[in-house]
């Protein structure tokens, strides 16, 4: 039984026992049928074929393409390398327009190959790139748009692709969060020139590390296949510049096993999302992002917006309360790529054109979900949030008394490194 949190004094922040004995994570991986996975692993070892487009990778690609209704799926070692390869295979150069409110890999995949990421503001309600703000950012150097289907909600693909057609730009989507999601009758995977998926351990369908690029373009798919395998066209012949973006057989085995439990994972995520919504309903200044308008959503992120002007605690104060209770809520994707290096130095004025990004980044808090979280956990988390918000003033006062000169900071990993 989790300790009851009825009074401010019960909070772990002020000496009470934490609500959970060990940490509850946002990205705790789904495992699926362990026995089936181990069988596949045995088979891989027996065959002595571990990587380089083996039978498990081929089966995984076929299954993913079939599921998404797209002609080609090219499996990759992760989504970041997948994005880098897709960007290069699409011939993007110069400048590419993307949202700043995304995981930093989206921007890094461009900057890594000396393409300038030009950050566009988002819609404050959906957190997605705002198509109305794209055209003003197009210059003679612009070669593409990189939309992000954040939290699994598809971008306004019609508006983005209309701009791209008019201005002769390529369109790539970062679909890292959007596996299994759809717009109308269409699944994410076939929009734009190509889409990039992540199957990282923290994604609801995972391959430990992994990713894929999907496309309906035969030539592009052929280029992607060459580029992820050093450009080899035969045993001794290289026909293209390439890198190593290959997925391993073990990763594909995990992916296939994960896919077999996909509907069960979605059902758990959907239930968790509903329970959070019910348990946090009616709290002033609190909004839980809903996805009722999205066809076939995967519900893999539970995203809370804490409006510091209306809620009794600011987002970071609430996060501090939760962290001390072993509830590792995350401030994804604070503070926005434009406020991280190297972008902060390369484009110091970016914040002026990104007011909605700044506002959203100050509010978001992702809560633990996936199969690692059960209804009782959500009840406990909901009770902690409710109690903390009903006692906001007292919590602030206590914090001021106990740590008078220490600013409120959310614990985070810090790596000191001298890059000079
Ligand atoms: N585009 C977008 C929009 C993305 O969100 C991402 C990745 C990418 C591109 C790039 O995809 P990949 O190249 O990774 O395929 C995590 C993930 O590492 C990252 O894949 C993901 N997005 C991002 C949103 O979250 P961090 O830096 O937050 O990871 P970390 O180590 O803090 O782990 C997240 C949480 O999950 C922690 O609370 C711990 C927990 N966890 C993690 C792992 C790896 C577990 O419980 N078990 C585990 O095995 O980036």
The two structure tokens encoding residue 27: 């990205």
Is 304 within 8 Å of 367 (Cβ atoms)? yes
Q: How far is the CA of 27 from the centre of ligand 1 (A)?
A: 7
**Contact of 199 with 205, CB cutoff 8 Å:** yes
pLDDT over 90, % of the chain: 90
Kindly state if the Cβ of 24 falls inside 6 Å of ligand 1: no
Considering only CA atoms, which residue is closest to atom 4 of ligand 1?
103
Cβ-contact 143, 93 below 8 angstroms: yes
- Asked if 330 and 420 count as a contact pair (C-beta separation under 8 A), the reply is no
The answer, yes or no, to whether any atom of ligand 1 lies below 6 A from the CB of 29, is yes
Residue 349 DSSP symbol: T
Looking at the DSSP assignment, which residues form a beta bridge with residue 198?
211
Q: What is the value of pTM for the model shown? A: 0.95
Residue carrying structure tokens 């004094």: 9
Q: What would the pLDDT profile of 226-242 be if each residue is shown by its tens digit?
A: 999 999 999 999 998 99
Residue with CA closest to ligand 1 atom 16: 202
pLDDT of amino acid 295: 85
CA separation for the pair 81, 67 (Å, rounded): 23
Reported as a pLDDT band with limits 50, 70 and 90, residue 402 is confident
Mean pLDDT in residue range 352-369: 97
Residues forming a β-bridge with 366: 303, 330
Distance (Å, whole) CA 367 – CA 327: 8
pLDDT digits (tens, 9 = 90+) for 284-317: 999 999 998 888 999 999 999 999 999 999 999 9
Whether residue 148 is predicted with pLDDT greater than 50 in this model: the reply is yes
C-beta 332 within 6 A of ligand 1:
yes
| Least confident span in 145-154, 171-180, 397-406 | 397-406
pLDDT tens digit sequence for 42-100: 999 999 999 999 999 999 999 999 999 999 999 999 999 999 999 999 999 999 999 99
Pocket test for ligand 1, best of 103, 251, 369 (most atoms within 8 A of CB): 103
Given pLDDT bands bounded at 50, 70 and 90, which one contains residue 405?
A: very low
CB neighbour class for 347 (10 Å; exposed up to 12, middle 13-18, buried from 19): middle
Token pair recorded at residue 383: 């009770």
Burial status of residue 320 (CB atoms within 10 A of its CB: 0-12, 13-18, 19 or more): buried
Mean pLDDT of the chain: 94
In tens, the pLDDT along 247-297 reads 999 999 999 999 999 999 999 999 999 999 999 999 999 999 999 888 899
Q: Percent of the chain beyond pLDDT 70?
A: 95
For residue 4, name the pLDDT band (cuts at 50, 70, 90): confident
Q: Where are the alpha helices (DSSP H) in 150-304?
A: 157-167, 218-227, 249-260, 262-280
Higher pLDDT, 409 or 129: 129
pLDDT at 411: 58
The pLDDT value given to residue 6? 84
pLDDT tens digits along 190-228 = 999 999 999 999 999 999 999 999 999 999 999 999 999
Tokens, residue 387: 């109690």
Residue 200 Cβ inside 6 Å of ligand 1? The answer reads yes
pLDDT of residue 3 exceeding 80, the answer is: no
pLDDT bracket for residue 27 (50, 70, 90)? confident
Smallest CA-to-CA distance from 120 within 104, 143, 106, 136 is with 136
* Ligand 1 site-directed mutation target among 23, 26, 27, most atoms within 8 Å of CB: 27
- What's the CA gap between 47 and 36, in Å, rounded? 17
Q: Which of 128, 179, 202 to mutate to test the pocket of ligand 1 (most atoms within 8 A of CB)?
A: 202
H runs (alpha helix) in 116-245? 157-167, 218-227
Is residue 25 over pLDDT 50? yes
Pairing of strands 302-306, 364-367: antiparallel
């Amino acid at each position: 039984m989790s300790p009851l949190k009825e009074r401010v004094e019960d909070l772990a922040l002020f000496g009470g026992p934490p609500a959970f004995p060990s940490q509850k994570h946002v990205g705790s991986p789904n495992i699926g049928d362990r026995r089936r996975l181990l069988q596949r692993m045995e088979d891989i070892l027996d065959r002595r074929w571990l990587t380089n487009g083996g039978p498990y990778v081929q089966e995984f690609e076929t299954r993913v393409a079939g599921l998404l209704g797209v002609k080609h799926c090219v499996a990759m070692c992760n989504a970041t390398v997948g994005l880098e390869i897709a960007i290069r295979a699409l011939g993007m150069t110069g400048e590419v327009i993307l949202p700043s409110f995304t995981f930093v890999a989206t921007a890094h995949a461009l900057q890594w190959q000396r393409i300038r990421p030009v950050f566009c503001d988002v819609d404050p309600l959906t957190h997605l790139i705002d198509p109305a703000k794209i055209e003003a950012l197009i210059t003679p150097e612009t070669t593409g748009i990189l939309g992000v289907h954040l939290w699994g909600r598809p971008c306004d693909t019609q508006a983005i692709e209309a701009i791209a057609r008019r201005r002769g730009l390529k369109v790539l989507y970062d679909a890292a969060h959007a596996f299994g999601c759809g717009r109308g009758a269409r699944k994410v995977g076939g929009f734009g020139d190509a889409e990039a998926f992540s199957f990282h351990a923290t994604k609801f369908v995972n391959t430990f590390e992994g990713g894929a690029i999907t496309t309906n373009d035969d030539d592009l798919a052929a280029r992607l296949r060459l580029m992820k395998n050093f450009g080899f066209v035969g045993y001794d012949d290289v026909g293209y510049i390439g890198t190593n973006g290959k997925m391993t057989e073990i990763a594909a085995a995990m992916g296939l096993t994960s896919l077999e439990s996909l509907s069960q994972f979605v059902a758990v995520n959907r239930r968790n999302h509903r329970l959070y919504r019910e348990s946090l309903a009616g709290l002033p200044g609190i909004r839980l992002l809903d996805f009722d308008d999205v066809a076939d959503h995967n519900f893999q992120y539970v995203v809370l917006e804490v409006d510091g002007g209306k809620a009794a605690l600011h987002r970071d104060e609430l996060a501090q309360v939760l962290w001390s209770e072993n509830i590792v809520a995350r401030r994804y994707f604070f503070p926005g790529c434009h406020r991280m290096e190297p972008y902060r130095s390369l484009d110091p004025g970016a914040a002026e054109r990104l007011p909605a990004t700044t506002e959203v980044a100050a509010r978001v808090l992702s809560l633990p979900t996936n199969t690692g979280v059960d209804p009782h956990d959500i009840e406990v988390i909901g009770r902690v949030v409710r109690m903390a918000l009903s006692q906001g003033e007292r919590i602030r006062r206590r914090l001021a008394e106990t740590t008078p000169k220490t600013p409120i900071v959310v614990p985070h990993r810090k790596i000191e490194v001298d890059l000079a």
